[in-house]
Structure 1
């Protein structure tokens, strides 16, 4: 871990800094002899691909002209206050950031690696950023580049500080279960990482992959193949709760119980995950029922039939 004094945005200074090709995390050096592995990908939640560890840089990503950030309205938001930002073709993990436009200013939920002049121009045209909130270390990416470019703080869970590759005065460490950030509520659920976060704003829950929508959660059972109405089959999960998603290691039942103890106190009518296309929009009653049922399904099928969550 390297500490740096606060700097203003200067792509000439940071453009050659190394970025892990697998997870998109930026390291504050261009010297490949100083950074030979990625601490994020060496953590058992992540992985190094069969091709081995490799690095790129923002200079390289920008210079090829192959990648651009696409701005897409989030489903279920008729007022247009939520905009997904996703790099195409995919860079690193491929997650999206979500621009949340509140009455107190714009907040960026999560972060992506690519930051270029066009992205800065578009976001400033929408009012800039008051803050950035990053759900967990897999999406730390180039968050300090973004914070410097928009001269704003970036909120991170205090429990996950050990996975940072840089320190800066703009980083704000969240210690409470609930934190207000410019009109949004940031909730610390833990589980996937000790400090894994979700964000709630006007009934929409941004979940990153603190928990993740499943194919059966996204499926449409409203009609059958000939158009007749039908009900969704019982016992279908809508979400998975994993310690490691790429390595398919589930969270233990007690971790789910701790997450539910917090989340049950809040109302939300939709969930919006880390990747495009995994949005679920229902009624608040249906959404909370689906979260609880999904937790119970995971607990039951992992052999814990007597766990308190099933009662």
Structure 2
């Protein structure tokens, strides 16, 4: 399942081994980063030595937590429904044991990376789980370094399975997406990637063009993204790392976007001190 695949050692995104670019385009973009020494390094996935734990974070929702390996350490989620499972975001690692555990959760119906940083080893996971369709936002398809054998290009909003809807809200990337699921309790769960990122306080979110390079989205875009998410009812929100909001998440997204817009629009500049040293 790893034949023909090479990864960027920095971001973990897969590429065709025979057509490697001189530098990883994902890392060369200002939303990511090249190594400090500027040297592109490639990695063979079979040599990663990573471990993957499949952890239930709430009923019928599982996190794939990677220990070791390469890349930025994203945490994929697998939601399980009566109609099959959906993987949201993709690890930059794969092991036979993790594939076996995920397969036991039920037939995988779709793999949905929220944006190009989350492509990981998506073609390997697709093949290992039975040639699962990989949902690629049409707006972001140009970032593919390896084209999935079973690719589903999509735009806007689509129902993935009954009770599971994928929606492209943009912002971080033009095709940046979230996945809404009713949840086992019916209260609603939003798997937000980092289209909307939960903050460490567990009560607020942020909206960024680049997370590692600290480039914020404008207030107008943050409000647009939040309004797009608020079309759905959801009590809980999970990002693409370990962060989450475990109650009142829809309201938290809206109030966080308003706060973001106020700060980026200069509303609170009076809190930041004098413009310069006194003459």
TM normalised by structure 2 equals 0.88
Give deviations 1:13-33, integer Å, cap 9, x for gaps.
Answer: 33xx321111111111157xx
Q: Find out whether 1:69 has 2:52 as its counterpart.
A: yes
Whole-angstrom CA distance in 2 between matches of 1:112 and 1:164? 16
**Out of 174, 177, 181, which is 1:201 matched to?**
181
SS of the residue 1:18 aligns to: strand
Assess, with a 3 A threshold, how the Cα gap between structure 1 residues 168 and 84 changes in structure 2: closer, same or farther. closer
Q: Which residue of 2 aligns with 1:29?
A: 17
Structure 1 segments of 4+ aligned residues over 4 angstroms from their partners: none
Structure 1 residue 59 corresponds to structure 2 residue 46: yes
> 1:145-224 residue pairs with structure 2 within 5 A?
145-150=124-129, 151-176=131-156, 178-183=157-162, 184-202=164-182, 203-218=188-203
Residue matched to 1:142? 121
Per the alignment, residue 106 of structure 2 pairs with: 127
2:43 and 2:68 mapped to 1: Cα distance? 15
Q: How many residues align structurally?
A: 260
Mapped partners of 2:198, 2:158: distance in 1: 24
Give the structure 1 partner of residue 226 of structure 2.
260
Deviation of the 1:124 alpha carbon: 1.9
For residues 170-224 of structure 1, the C-alpha deviation after alignment (integer angstroms, 9 at most, x for no partner) is 1111112x21112311111110000100111110111111111112335xxxxxx
Q: Closer, same or farther in 2 for the Cα pair 1:23/1:152, shift >3 Å?
A: same
SS at match of 1:297: helix
**Which consecutive unaligned segments of at least 5 residues does structure 1 have?**
1-9, 219-237, 306-311
Higher strand share: 2
TM-score (normalizing by structure 1): 0.79
CA RMSD across the alignment: 1.8
Tell me if 1:298 matches 2:263. no
